Homo-oligomer: A and B are copies of this chain.
Amino acid sequence: MWGCVTDFFTYETTKSVVVKSWSVGIINRVVQLVIISYFVGWVFIHEKAYQVTENSVESSVMTKVKGFGYQNNYVMDVADYVIPQQGAAIFCILTKVIITENQFQGTCPEYSNKYRCDQDKDCLQHIGNILSNGVITGVCLNSTIGNETVGRCESEGWCPAENDNVEVKPMLNVINFTIFIKNSVRFPLFDVTRGNFLSTMSRDEIRKCNYHPVDSPFCPIFNVGDILNYTNQDLETLANKGGEIGINVQWKCNLDYDIENCVPRYSFTRLDKPFEKNAISNGYNFRFAKYYMTENGTEFRTLHKAYAIRFDVMVTGKAGKFDTIPTLINLVAAFTSVGLGTVLCDLILLNCLKGAEQYKAKKFEEVSDAQIEASLAHSPVSQLSLKGGIKSSYDSGAISLATSDQAM
C-alpha cells in the first residue's frame, strides 16, 4: 500500500543530452527565435489568437430618406419614391417610372412588334407566353398605333397594354437626396450592444453632418451623390436603368479595449458587379400598381414600371475578446512548435556534423530482443544484479563517473 503511494508521488523527467557545440547551439536558438517570433508576432499580436471571436451579429437597421425630385412633372417626396416606406434595411428609390394609366380588365392588342400578325394563326405560337402583357388569346386584332393600322395579337388582362418603350426623363435630383441610417448591433456571445452614432455626437451635430470617409467617418447621413461617386457609378445610367448598391456597415471590435473604440466602418459597392459579364438584367426594375375604383364600382389601376436604385444596408460584425481556451490551445501549440525545432536540430546534429556518430552514441542507447533474451538466460544472479542496478542506479552512475574521472 505505502509502496503504491510512494510510487505515485514520484516525478519523471526526461534524461537529456546537452550538446555544447557552437554550430548546433546557434542553429537551435535561431530556429527557436524564428518560431517564437512567428507565434508572438503573427499568431498572437496580428491574428489575435488569444481571443475568442464572434462572427454572427444581431443587427437592426432603420433608414430614412430625405429629398425632393421631379418626375413626370410631379414633385415626388419620400412617400412617393421610396418603397417600402417603413424605413427598412433594403429600400428602393424610384428614379424613373413608366406609367400606364387607366387599365381595366378586358382584351386588347399587344403593343410590341413581336406580336405583329396578319391572321389568327400567327398568334397561336405566342399562346402561353409569359413575357406578354396578358394572356394571349390567339386572335389577331387590328390595332391603330400612331396613325398606322397594323395587326397585333390580342391579349386578355389589364388593358390597354403597357408600352415601356417610351422615353421618360429619370429623376436626376436623386443625387441630392440623403440617407440616414440608424443601426444597432449586438454581439450575443459578449452581450455587447452598440449603435452607429458616437455617444459624443449631439443631436445637432448628427442632423447637420454629412458622411465623409476621412473627415466625418461616423456621420450616419449619406448623400446619394457621394455614394455614387464612391462606387464609380454614372448617375444618368443608374437612374435610367436602375441598379443595386450595397452599403456595408462593418463592425470590427476588439472588446479588450474600451468599448468606445467599437465603431462602424462604412463601405459601398455596386452589388450587380458580378453580373457585368452577363448582359442580362443589368439594372433593376419592377412593376407595381395603384388601384382605383370608378363611381359604379369597377376597379381599374395605374401600372407603374419603376426603375429604381436599390440600397441594401448590410451589416457584418466581428468581435474578439480575450479568452483562456484559445489562448491556452495556441500557447500549447507555440510551446510544442518550439519543441519541434529539436527535430530539425537532431537531423543536423546526427547527420551533418562532424562527429555525428559520437553524438548518436550519446543520444541513443540501444537494446535488442537478443540482449534481453541473453540476459534472461543468464543466472539468477544477473537478474538480481539488474534489480540492484535499478535501485542503486544513482550510486553506480556517480561511481562510474567518478571512476572515469579518475581514469582520465
Q: Which of B84, B279, B368 contacts A202 (CB 8 A)?
A: B279
* A13 with B393, Cβ < 8 A, contacts A157-B75, A271-B60, A332-B340 known: no
Chain B neighbourhood of A333, CB < 8 A:
328-329, 332-333
Q: A203: CB under 8 A from chain B?
A: yes
Chain B neighbourhood of A28, CB < 8 A:
9-11
Nearest CB to that of A73 among chain B residues?
Answer: B105
Chain B neighbourhood of A42, CB < 8 A:
324-325
Q: Once the chains are docked, how many angstroms separate the CA of A337 from the CA of B334? A: 11
Q: A228: CB under 8 A from chain B?
A: no
A275 touches B56 (CB 8 A): no
Chain B neighbourhood of A388, CB < 8 A:
401-402, 405
Q: Which of A146-154, A163-171, A243-251 contacts B (4 or more CB under 8 A)?
A: A243-251
Q: Once the chains are docked, how many angstroms separate the CA of A302 from the CA of B391? A: 101
Q: Which of B277, B292, B394, B399 contacts A368 (CB 8 A)?
A: B394
B361 touches A390 (CB 8 A): yes
Q: How far is the CB of A26 from chain B (nearest CB, A)?
A: 6
Chain B neighbourhood of A367, CB < 8 A:
17-20, 358-359, 362, 393-394
Chain B neighbourhood of A364, CB < 8 A:
12, 15-18, 390
A405 touches B392 (CB 8 A): yes
A372 touches B359 (CB 8 A): yes
Chain B neighbourhood of A66, CB < 8 A:
130-131
Q: A121: CB under 8 A from chain B?
A: no
Q: A355: CB under 8 A from chain B?
A: yes
A13 touches B349 (CB 8 A): yes
Residues of A contacting B: mostly: mixed
Q: Which of A112-120, A190-198, A232-240 contacts B (4 or more CB under 8 A)?
A: A190-198
Q: A67: CB under 8 A from chain B?
A: yes
A residues 326-340 near B (Cβ < 8 Å) are 328-330, 332-333, 335-337, 340
Interface range, A side: 35 or more
Chain B neighbourhood of A371, CB < 8 A:
358, 392, 394-395
Q: A86: CB under 8 A from chain B?
A: yes
Most interface-central of A6, A54, A336, A398 (chain B CB within 10 A): A398
A residues 252-276 near B (Cβ < 8 Å) are 269, 271-275
Chain B neighbourhood of A403, CB < 8 A:
396, 400
Q: How far is the CB of A367 from chain B (nearest CB, A)?
A: 4
Q: A40: CB under 8 A from chain B?
A: no
Q: Once the chains are docked, how many angstroms separate the CA of A330 from the CA of B397? A: 40
* A274 with B15, Cβ < 8 A, contacts A75-B135, A329-B333, A396-B400 known: no
A325 touches B43 (CB 8 A): yes
**Contact mask A374-401 → B, CB, 8 Å, 1/0?**
1110000011011111111111111111
B79 touches A16 (CB 8 A): no
B372 touches A355 (CB 8 A): yes
A288 touches B250 (CB 8 A): no
Not counting A14-B16, A366-B390, a sample of 18 additional A-B residue pairs whose C-beta atoms are within 8 angstroms of each other reads A6-B20, A10-B25, A11-B18, A11-B28, A11-B345, A55-B55, A86-B288, A130-B178, A188-B250, A202-B279, A333-B333, A358-B367, A361-B389, A362-B397, A366-B393, A371-B395, A399-B407, A400-B404
